[in-house]
Amino acid sequence: MVHVPRRDGPPSVHHVAARAGVSLATVSNVLNHPERVADATAARVHDAIAELGYTPNRNARVLASGSSRSIGLVVMSLRNSLFSDMVNGAQLAARKRGFTLLIASSEDDLQAQGEHLAYLESARVSGILLASMTESRDQVELTRRHGRPVVYVNFAPTTVDACSVVVDNEQAGFLAAEHLIARGCRRIGFVSARAELQPVALRRAGVLRAIAGHPGVELVDIDAGDIDPPGGTHAGSRIAAMPADERPDGVLGVTDLLAMAVVSELRAAGIRVPEDIPVSGCDHNSVAWGGAVPLTSVTMHGAEMGAAAVELLLEELTDPMHVHRAVVLGSELVPRESTLGRAGAAAARTVPPSDPRRTEA
């Protein structure tokens, strides 16, 4: 005779075992290691689960195992579509592998980032994807000492041995500058700020590489003070106030938000974009696409970065022979009206490839 445990609350694994006429270990194997159980026995257990309406206690399973089938993702900001695209790509990749994604945004605050990492550890995530603008070495090393692997996204670490997935920001700056040079620009205003940020420094390096290949073209650095729209507004008003023979004949914003704010200020001052000054962005931020002049920019492949980072993290979790790798995704220019005008943009319109060029090291 099978003893049926007393029911004073929701059905438990004991009730499932009793209803199916199997041991607790068998029920556990059906839930966690189904390959170990005969099909007929597993069917009886699943029937019992359905009849009783049993739901596994995930918190108890997390406490017992020390980790859960979840992945943490901390991004710099969800206001930039690069990071929201990253979330979407990581979430889809995680779901395909049976993992859930827990998301947090630091809003470019290092202390908040550390708090998010600590919370995700307390939630016993299996590992963490970190999309930061800095290496955050102390925080990352603490997380890894606690047994959680970390994969960098949109940042290539230099002092931490860890996997990373980035877009080629140097190539992004190069492509945007080459495009302006091809449009006839010979005095390119580079609107940027926070040179200590890796993507900013790399994009400027790409701009300099493009200019070096074209004698007679010069760079005019314009410090916006910040990479958000108010910085672009300030930079745009300064450009508009320059004498016509001294101002840049082309402008490249290190972010799309800066570039779009520059466009607004130039137009407000009666300077035509692109007829008088073509303007390009550099990070394909959809938040900046709502202006009066559609903005030329460079793809960042956020979704692909997120998906690739999940795969690297899961490989590190499951492969004892795992070797840290750096994945670099290519960039493509997306020309729009801010550099080509309406007719030119219509003729040049292309769809960015969904499978970007990818290199690994």
How far out from the chain centre does Cα 87 lie? 6
Contact between residue 274 and residue 335 where contact means Cβ atoms under 8 Å apart: no
pLDDT tens track for 6-34: 555 577 788 888 899 998 888 888 887 78
pLDDT tens track for 189-212: 999 999 999 999 999 999 999 999
* CA-angle at 97, arms to 328 and 84, nearest 5°: 55
Residue 245: Cβ-neighbour burial (10 angstroms; 0-12, 13-18, 19+): exposed
Residues 6+ apart with CB under 8 A from 340: 183, 274, 278, 296, 347, 348
The pLDDT confidence band at residue 139, using thresholds 50, 70 and 90, is very high
The yes-or-no verdict on residue 300 having pLDDT over 90 is yes
Residues 6+ apart with CB under 8 A from 330: 167, 168, 171, 301, 356, 357, 358, 359
User: What is the identity of the amino acid at 20?
Assistant: A
SS3 192: strand
Q: What is the pLDDT of residue 348?
A: 62
Query: What single DSSP character describes residue 244?
Result: T
SS3 44: helix
Q: What percent of the chain has pLDDT over 90?
A: 67
Residues 6+ apart with CB under 8 A from 357: 329, 330
Q: What is the pLDDT of residue 64?
A: 46
Other beta carbons within 10 angstroms of residue 227's beta carbon come to 24
* CA-angle at 156, arms to 153 and 161, nearest 5°: 100
Q: What is the pLDDT of residue 263?
A: 97
Q: pTM, whole model, 2 decimals? A: 0.78
Name the more confident of 285 and 58.
285
Cα separation, 171 vs 177, whole angstroms: 10
Backbone CA torsion sign across 227, 233, 234, 239: positive
Residues 274, 275, 277, 280, Cα dihedral to 10°: 20
Helix (H) or strand (E) holding 20: helix 13-20
